[in-house]
């Protein structure tokens, strides 16, 4: 009986109830309505089972998907050779014909193509609004480095890109209109000054919204970057104030129904120890942007560089990753899509995941749970799902549909089913989600003041992680997750450390893991006298982002060497 139970655990994703006590403050913007949990047994080489508890969103039932919809995006007669690649993989290599499963995992995904070698030819023109905190706390070296970072952004925009700069303190001020970055206009965009007022983030966002709405023409890609180092003291509850912003800045807000068309992501950057990480995280999460934590002020420019590398490489917009069951008895039970909107038809036949955009080279992986009936002896394989994606090409403004990929699973007799572990790619995805969920749980403990309990909980997760097949094989993702867990434990050793560094770091890191998009966590290493980011593997960083960051670092080194030479030459 015990063996049978274990065998079944290997092939099923079992549903169980989950009691969650995560603080409401931590859940702001996470868009994850917790209604049930997915228990996935991960068997290591020691034959012991380690369970990661994955919190799944309640499936959104969409009656309009109950019938096969007509193709929304027809494939062009001459499709571009840079099409999206869609993939699908069952949780296990085989399922015996006598078995059935109510929760069988299918890993689906997409990957965007690369940019052409000449980025200026292949990148979609950008409308960018930079919102900069110039309040009293942003004085001195912070202000100089922020201004230098904006100069870097200006220098790397093309002549078709447009930029507007807004500074905010107690009030807002638009410094420049949305202007194309021709050589004649580049210098005028970076003339702004430091003030002695307090921070007013909402005023900056309201001004950005006004600029966006008054555009008589618009570039294919629109985005906002926002840098702040302080608290928004004008509003007692800044989170409530965010609800007054236009819907296109809240396209991930689950309390309203918002179209992905026209969505404008806001990428936020929290600088230092005193910024409001919860508010900046909520702004980014609600709009579909990223939240970066910059403790090391020397790396402001690097953080901007990575973000700009992504914005200048958007390959797809209004993306819909679609799944359809193709065999009798196979039904879609739930989709784990993190903050990306998803819905399932009432009959469980169709499902869709919505994404605002995808950068060149980026991948998105999602777990889909399906029910699989037993098969008769003549059935060799069961087709589980058909997967394809539809999206808008921002360069051509055409809607494109990818090829359909069929996911199927062999159905041999029970005696011929091997005892292999689950597919390594599926295990890696389960680990990513499971660790991110458990970091959020540890953060909730820390917010409640249960710091020692949070540290112990993360220690248990480190042990579980290294007992997985991927962990024992020293998979790079598992190695980096181990480093993250250790770093977070250090930031939870005291209330002061967690408030100053831990909360912002965890919010930024978890957003990266959930959204599968690179953001920056630039820290001052413990005991270091200067500012420098830690050495780690940048999650989800594309080659375009990497080159842009390298360019920023080389320029910064040149400036430092020039300044040093100038100082040495003085008598």
Domain boundaries, the chain: 1-55+420-493, 59-114+315-417, 124-312+501-508+517-563
CB distance 202 to 266 below 8 Å: no
Two tokens, residue 294: 């910059």
> At residue 535, does pLDDT exceed 50?
no
Q: What CATH class does 124-312+501-508+517-563 carry?
A: alpha beta
Summarised one tens digit per residue, pLDDT across range 464-485 is 999 999 999 999 999 999 999 9
Q: CA 110 to CA 108: how far, in whole Å?
A: 7
> What is the pLDDT, as a whole number, of residue 108?
98
CB distance 427 to 475 below 8 Å: no
Architecture of domain 59-114+315-417: Sandwich (2.60)
> Among 485, 482, 488, which residue's Cα sits nearest to residue 446?
488
| DSSP H or E segment with residue 227 | strand 221-228
Tell me the helix, strand and coil percentages in the chain, rounded to 5.
Answer: 35, 25, 40
| DSSP H or E segment with residue 478 | helix 476-490
Two tokens, residue 183: 């050589």
> What is the pLDDT, as a whole number, of residue 260?
60
Two tokens, residue 303: 């953080």
Q: CA 219 to CA 229: how far, in whole Å?
A: 30
> At residue 4, does pLDDT exceed 80?
no
Terminal-to-terminal C-alpha distance of the chain: 86
Q: Distances in Å between the alpha carbon of 10 and those of 15, 133, 148, 370, 428? A: 14, 52, 54, 15, 15
| DSSP H or E segment with residue 364 | strand 363-372
Largest Cα–Cα separation, the chain = 92
Two tokens, residue 165: 């700069």
User: Which pLDDT band, with edges at 50, 70 and 90, does 242 fall under?
Assistant: confident
Q: Please count the other Cβ atoms lying within 10 Å of the Cβ belonging to residue 452.
A: 12
> What is the pLDDT, as a whole number, of residue 275?
87
CB distance 55 to 34 below 8 Å: yes
Whole-prediction pTM value? 0.83
> At residue 546, does pLDDT exceed 70?
yes
| DSSP H or E segment with residue 269 | strand 266-271
CB distance 218 to 188 below 8 Å: no
Q: Please count the other Cβ atoms lying within 10 Å of the Cβ belonging to residue 70.
A: 6
> What is the pLDDT, as a whole number, of residue 192?
54
């Amino acid at each position: 009986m015990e063996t049978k139970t274990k065998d079944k655990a290997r092939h099923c994703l079992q549903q169980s109830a989950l009691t969650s006590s995560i603080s409401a403050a931590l859940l702001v913007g996470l868009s994850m309505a917790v209604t049930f949990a997915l228990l996935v047994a991960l068997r290591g080489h020691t034959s012991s089972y380690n369970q990661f508890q994955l919190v799944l969103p309640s499936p959104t039932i969409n009656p309009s998907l109950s019938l096969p919809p007509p193709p929304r995006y027809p494939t062009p007669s001459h499709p571009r050779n840079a099409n999206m690649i869609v993939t699908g993989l069952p949780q296990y290599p085989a399922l015996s014909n006598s078995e059935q499963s109510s929760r069988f995992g299918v890993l689906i995904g997409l990957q965007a193509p690369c940019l052409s070698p000449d980025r200026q030819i292949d990148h979609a023109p950008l409308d960018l609004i930079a919102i900069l905190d110039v309040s009293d706390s942003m004085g001195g070296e912070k202000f100089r480095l922020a201004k230098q970072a904006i100069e870097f952004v200006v220098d790397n925009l093309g002549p078709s890109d447009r930029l507007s700069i807004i500074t905010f303190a107690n009030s807002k001020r638009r410094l420049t209109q949305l202007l194309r970055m021709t050589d004649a206009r580049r210098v005028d965009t970076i003339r702004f000054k430091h003030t002695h007022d307090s921070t007013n983030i909402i005023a900056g966002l309201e001004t950005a919204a006004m600029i966006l709405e008054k555009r008589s023409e618009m570039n294919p890609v629109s985005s906002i970057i926002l840098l702040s180092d302080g608290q928004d003291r004008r509003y007692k509850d800044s989170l409530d104030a965010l609800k007054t912003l236009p819907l296109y800045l809240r396209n991930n807000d689950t309390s309203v129904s918002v179209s992905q068309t026209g969505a404008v992501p806001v990428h936020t950057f929290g600088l230092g120890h005193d910024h409001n990480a919860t508010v900046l995280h909520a702004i980014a999460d609600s709009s579909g942007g990223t939240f970066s934590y910059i403790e090391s002020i020397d790396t402001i420019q690097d953080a901007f560089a990575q973000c700009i590398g992504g914005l200048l490489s958007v390959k797809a917009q209004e993306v819909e990753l679609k799944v359809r069951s193709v065999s009798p008895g196979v039904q879609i039970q739930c989709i784990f899509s993190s903050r990306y909107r998803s819905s399932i038809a009432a009959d469980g036949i169709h499902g869709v995941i919505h994404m605002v955009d995808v950068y060149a080279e980026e991948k998105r992986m999602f777990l889909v749970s399906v029910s699989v009936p037993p098969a008769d002896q003549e059935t060799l394989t069961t087709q589980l799902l058909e997967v394809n994606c539809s999206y808008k090409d921002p360069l051509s403004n055409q809607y494109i549909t990818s090829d359909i990929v069929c996911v199927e699973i062999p159905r041999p007799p029970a005696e011929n089913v091997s005892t292999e572990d689950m597919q390594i790619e599926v295990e890696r995805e389960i680990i990513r989600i499971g660790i991110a969920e458990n970091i959020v749980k540890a953060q909730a403990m820390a917010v409640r003041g249960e710091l020692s309990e949070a540290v112990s909980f993360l220690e248990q997760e480190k042990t579980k992680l290294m007992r997985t097949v991927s962990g024992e094989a020293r998979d790079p993702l598992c190695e980096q997750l181990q480093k993250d867990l250790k770093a977070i434990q250090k930031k939870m050793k005291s209330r002061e450390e967690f408030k100053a560094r831990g909360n912002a770091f965890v919010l930024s890191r978890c957003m990266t893991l959930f959204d599968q998009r690179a953001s920056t966590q630039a820290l001052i290493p413990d005991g270091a006298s200067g500012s420098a980011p830690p050495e780690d593997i940048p999650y989800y960083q594309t080659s375009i982002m990497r080159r842009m960051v390298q360019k920023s670092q080389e320029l910064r080194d040149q400036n430092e060497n020039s300044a040093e030479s100038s100082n040495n030459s003085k008598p």
